Structure 1
Amino acid sequence: MNNLRILHVEDDLQAAKMVADTLSRVGDDVVNAANGKDGLRLASEEEFDLVILDRMLPDMSGIDIITKLRDAGVALPVLMLSALGRTEKRIEGLDAGVDDYLAKPFEQEELIARVRALHRRASGQSHSAVIIFGDLECHIKARTAHRQGRHIPLSPKEFELFKYFMQNAGETVTREMLLRDVWNLNFDPQTNVIDVNVGRLRRKLEEGFDGPILETIWGAGYRLLAR
């Protein structure tokens, strides 16, 4: 089992200690930031395997933090912890760019399991393939995206979305398929989570290149085009 270096952004010292004690049992090193400003700085300047982010902080919300991280191109996998566990709140967090969402209170063993599962997904430990379509390359083991040989930095969720489009390249991918296979939801939460994430991915894949590459099929879904 890999020992992870984890950034935990949490202002409640008792909660921070509980998380640190829990994860140190399995050999992880947890660095705490007591506010959003310090969390943003550490995530941008230091090397971490994963971020655990509290939703409610004294200087800014966890939603603001994840938005700033993703806008800055920080692609670290992020697990959000929150007492706000209703479906619409979880969807809001996923929409903003977090990769997993765990409601408080939670069992310590579930926290360990979620962290391990998120790290496995982010590091692609069980895959080794490279998918090529047109001028796009999806390196599944390295979890990297390339176009015309240029690396395209993606967040973990954006990479999962990119990989899914590459696995279904040239075919229409419906919203129902994305909800089921990328977001692991068997119902439509009636939010724009898909549109927002597809829009981010499209901008990253097309910026600096000629012509569209991710087509919207109105009333049906999306299709990845070969260039």
Structure 2
Amino acid sequence: MPRSRKTEDESVKEDDSEFSSSDLLARSIVRGIYEVTYVPGQRLVEQDLMEEYKVSRSTAREAIKILKADGVVTTNPYKGAQIRKLTREDAINILAVTEVVIGLAARQAAEHIEKPGARKSLRAALDKLIKPDNSETNYDFVRHRNQFYGTLTAISGNHELARIMQKLQIHLIRNRLVVRREERINGYREIAELIDKGDAKGAEQRARRYARRTAELILPLF
């Protein structure tokens, strides 16, 4: 079992009424995948999770069920729960769907950019994503990236798109930061600028181009 990186105030029992203890534990495990504390194929043993995160067996069991439903974990009668290993075909399919979904999010955000507060939210999300910070970890970047895409779906008003995006992001945690920082910043900035202008077609095309570029760099790793 990986060494704990948590402090007392980072307990999965944090005061957050929106999430149950099992939800919070699932999120902690997802963070561990971002930070490569957990790796594909690694077993998730209930007893280890109970000791690591100071939770009950029922909470550990429910968290594993949540992760299985989200496609992060697989279960085997003999090996128990394991962090899912993505095949090359899995990666191709996920990235293909991701391109379409991200493109749609950008398009619909541009179509609804005149909503009150939409531009302010977009700029705030972009600032977090592109601001220089030498202390930023991979997890911090991916968290800000997810917030950026979450902002696009919130502006779009498409609740189904938001639900699908959340599921895709769990798989996207596997991708390493294969795109150079400068290229990442330029890509997100250009997407945001097109959305800000209300250029739905341009925003979709730029977002899909960025997704394809990311896929080109990720797929050789599989």
TM-score (normalised: structure 2): 0.26
Name whichever structure is richer in strand by fraction.
Answer: 1
Pick 1 or 2: higher relative contact order, CA cutoff 8 A, min separation 6: 2
Name whichever structure is richer in helix by fraction.
Answer: 2
TM-score (normalised: structure 1): 0.25
